[in-house]
Chains A and B, each alone.
Chain A
Amino acid sequence: MLTVEASPDGTTLTFKPVGRFDGKIYQEFQDAYQRSAEPTSHYMVDFGRIDYIDSSGLGMLLKLRERAGGSKTRVHLANCSSEIKKILRIANFHSLFTVA
C-alpha cells in the first residue's frame, strides 16, 4: 500500500509506503513518481510504517534518485527503523541518499 502527498508549494513529493518495501509495490511506486509530468525538486520516502526492504526496494530508490537528477540531497529517506538503517548501511546507501 502506498500513499503519495505533495507539499503545498509543490516542491516535495512524499511517499508513505506501508508494510514491505519490495518488488510487489514496484509498479505502484514507479507510477506514483512518474505521474507528475515534471520531476519535483525533492523527494521524501517515509519509512515509518515499513518493516522490511529487499534488493528490489533498494533498486526502486536508485530509480527515484535518478529521477531526482542523481543528487544526494534531493532524496530523503525518513523515519528509518534500525533494521532498515542496517540494510541501507550494508548497501552503503548513506553515500547516495540523505538518511534519517
Chain B
Amino acid sequence: MKILVADDTIVNRRILEALLGKDGHTVVLAEDGKQAVALFEQEQPDLVIMDLMMPEMDGYQATKLIKQQTGSRFVPVIFLTAVTNEDVLAKCIAHGGDDFLTKPYNHTILRAKIAAWERIQNLHATVTAQKDELEGHHARFLHEQDVASTIRNNVLGGGCLDQIGINYHLAPAATLSGDLILAATHPTGVLHLMIGDFTGHGLSAAIGALPVADIFYRMTERGFTLRDILIELNRKLKRTLPTGLFCAASLVELDARRGSAAIWNGGLPDVLVFNSGAGCRLQVPSQHPPLGVLDEADLHTGMQEVSLEPGDRLYLYSDGVIEACNPTGNQFGESRLIEGLTNNREPDRLFDEILASLTSFTAGTVQQDDVTLVELPCDLITARLLAPETTAPPQPPWPLEWRMELSLSPDAVRAVDPVPELLQILNQVPGLPQHKERLFTILAELMTNAIDHGLLGLDSSLKHSPEGFDAYYRERDARLAELRDGQVRIALTHVPLHRGSQLTIRIEDSGPGFDFTRPNTDLAMNDTGAGRGIALISSLCQKINFHGKGNCVEVVYALEPAA
C-alpha cells in the first residue's frame, strides 16, 4: 500500500516511515496539513495517517479537503493523536476520519488497523465495481427494451387499425407488451381483426408477437381466409414457442357485403355483441385452447357466425380488463363491464365511458397486467369497407389482348389455395388492382364450387349451423386428403373493347356438374351462408353462363375505362 503520513514532528515521521517501510508499504511524508492535501492529490495514496495539531492547516481541515478529493474511491484516514478527550475524537470522525489511534501507540495495533482497513477497502472496491457493472447492464437492458419495443411497434403497426373506425385501448404493464391488436382488410372488403395475449410479459412475449403480426398481415393481404390464417398462426406458434408459452386470442372476420361476423375465441374472455336496442345480445365464450398449444390435427377452426343488426358493436378484450384491481384488491370483473354497456344511453360515447369507469375503479393502483380493449362499431366499419377506394385514380386497363390457362391436379389443389396466387398475378396487370376485391370474390366462389362441390362432392347445406361449418370443413379436409383423380381448369381471357375491356373467367371441373336450369338466384339466400355462390357472382359481374352438364362456368366481367 502507499501510505501518506502527515505529522509536523520529524521524529514521529521518521519512526512511522521506518515501521511502515519494514511492513512493505511505500511511505509519503508531509510536514503539515496543507502539504498533506497537496501530496494526496499528487501521489494518490491508498491510506492516510494524520496528526491532529499541525501548523498551516490542522488535521481536521486537511482530512475534510482530502475526503472531498476521493470521489468514488475509498481512502481511509486514521488519526494518530496524543489527545484522549472523547469530544475531540468524535470531531475527528465528524470531519471525515475513519479511525483513530492515541499516542503512544503500539506497533502491533497500528499494523492490525492498517490490515483491517485494507480489507475494507478491497471490499469497497469490489462492491463499487459490481455496482458499476450492474448499472451498465441495466442501462443496456433498458436500451434493448426500447429498441425491441420500437421494432415490435413497427411490425405490429402495419394494418388498418387507425383507418377503419376501430376504437381501441392498449395499455402495457411494462415497456414491452404481451398483448397485441391486429387489423387488416382482406381483398374482398372483409375486415380481419385479432387480439392476442401472450403468456407473461416482456421480451419473450414481444418476440412471439412478431411472426403473428407478419403472418396475419401477409396472409390477409394475399386473400387467405381467416380459417387458413388461424391454422398457420397456430402451426407457427406451436412450432416456435417452447411448451408453456402460448397466445390466447380472439379473431373476428367482419364481412360487410354479407352483413355478418365470424368469431373464434381461444382462451380470452367472452367476445360481446352489444346493441343499443337489445343490450348485450350475445356472448361468444372461449371454445378452444389458446394458439400454440394444440397440434394442427387437433385444432378446431369452427367459428361462431353472427348476423349483424344495425347498431351492433363488438367488444373484444384481454383478461387484464376484468382482472384490473382497485386499491382494496377487488377485480373490475365482467359484470361491471356488462353493467356499463347496459346502462349506456349514448352508444357513440360507450367506449370512452368504459375506459373512464375502468380508470376511476383502479384509482391509480399499479397495473399488474397488460390491458387491451377493442370496440368495433359495425355500422361505421361496414360503411368504410364498402366505400369505393378513394386512393389512386383508376388507371386505364391493360390495352392488350391476352389469355392464360391453368390446370390443377389433386396434388396442386392440396398444396396451395389457387385463389390468392391467381390474384397475385392479376394484381400485376395495370388497371386490374382497382377491381381486385370483386375479382377475388368471383374467383373464390367459383373455385369453391369447382373444388368443394365438383371435385369433392360436398353438400353445402351442411353449413346451415355453426357446428355444421366445422363439420363441413373437417369433411372437406378428409375428402381432399383422399382425392386421387380429377382436375380443375381455369382460363382467363382479356379482350380490349372500344371503351374499356372485358375479362372472361372460365372454370371447368371434372365433377358430375349440376342442373343449372334451376339455379338459385335469390340473393337473400346469401345470408344463410350456403348456396350463396351463384347469386353473389351474378350480382358482381355482367354475365354468368353454365356449359356442359353444369361442370363448366363462364363469367364475363367488364372493366370500365378511366373516367
Contacts and interface: CB of A to CB of B under 8 A. Distances in A.
The answer on A and B forming one complex is yes
Contacts of A96: 289, 293
A29 B293 CA distance: 20
A89 B265 CA distance: 12
A59 B178 CA distance: 15
B286 A91 contact: yes
Contact of B286 (A23, A56, A92): A92
Given A55-B200, A91-B289, A60 B244 contact: yes
A37 interface: no
Contacts of B199: 55-56, 58-59
Given A23-B200, A62-B293, A92 B287 contact: yes
Given A55-B200, A56-B199, A96-B289, A62 B269 contact: no
B286 A90 contact: yes
Interface in B231-281: 243-246, 248, 266-269
Specify the main secondary structure of chain A where it touches its partner.
Answer: helix
B486 to A, nearest CB: 36
A43 B290 CA distance: 23
A90 B244 contact: no
* From B197, B200, B243, B246, residue with most partner A Cβ within 10 Å: B243
B200 A93 contact: no
B288 interface: yes
B244 A63 contact: yes
Contacts of A90: 267-269, 285-286
A82 interface: no
Nearest to A91: B267
A95 B268 CA distance: 16
Given A59-B244, A62-B246, A62-B293, A92 B288 contact: yes
Contacts of B269: 90
Nearest to A96: B289
A5 interface: no
Interface string B357-401: 000000000000000000000000000000000000000000000
Contacts of B246: 55, 58-59, 62
Interface in B283-298: 285-290, 293
B138 to A, nearest CB: 21
Contacts of B290: 91
Contacts of B288: 92
* Interface secondary structure of B, over-half rule: loop
Contacts of B287: 92
Contact of A91 (B243, B244, B245, B248): B248
Interface string A76-100: 0000000000000111110110000
B539 to A, nearest CB: 39
Give the size range of A's interface with the partner. Answer: 10 to 19
A53 B558 CA distance: 59
Nearest to A87: B319
A66 interface: yes
A66 B293 CA distance: 11
Contacts of B289: 91-93, 95-96
Given A92-B287, A92-B288, A62 B200 contact: no
A81 to B, nearest CB: 15
Nearest to B198: A55
B266 A63 contact: no
Contacts of B293: 62, 96
Nearest to A67: B243
A56 B200 contact: yes
Contacts of A91: 248, 267, 286, 289-290
Nearest to B287: A92
A64 B223 CA distance: 39
A92 B243 contact: no
B302 to A, nearest CB: 13
Contacts of A93: 289
A55 B197 CA distance: 10
Nearest to B244: A59
Given A23-B200, A92-B267, A59 B286 contact: no
A90 B268 CA distance: 7
A96 B267 CA distance: 13
A95 B266 CA distance: 12
Identify which of B244, B287, B289, B293 gathers the most chain A CB atoms within 10 Å of its CB. B244
B197, B248, B287, B293: most-surrounded residue (chain A CB, <10 A)? B293
Nearest to A94: B289
A92 B266 contact: yes
Contacts of A95: 289
A56 to B, nearest CB: 6
A62 B268 CA distance: 17
Interface string A42-60: 0000000000000110111
Contacts of A89: 286
Interface string B485-510: 00000000000000000000000000
A52 to B, nearest CB: 10
A6 B221 CA distance: 54
A100 B243 CA distance: 23
Interface of A: 23, 55-56, 58-60, 62-63, 66, 89-93, 95-96
Interface of B: 197, 199-200, 243-246, 248, 266-269, 285-290, 293
The 6 closest A-B pairs by CB, nearest first: A59-B244, A92-B289, A55-B199, A63-B244, A90-B286, A91-B267
6 contacts: A59-B200, A59-B245, A90-B267, A91-B248, A91-B267, A95-B289
Given A55-B246, A62-B293, A90-B285, 19 more contacts: A55-B197, A55-B199, A55-B200, A59-B244, A59-B246, A89-B286, A90-B268, A91-B248, A91-B267, A91-B286, A91-B290, A92-B266, A92-B267, A92-B286, A92-B288, A92-B289, A93-B289, A95-B289, A96-B289
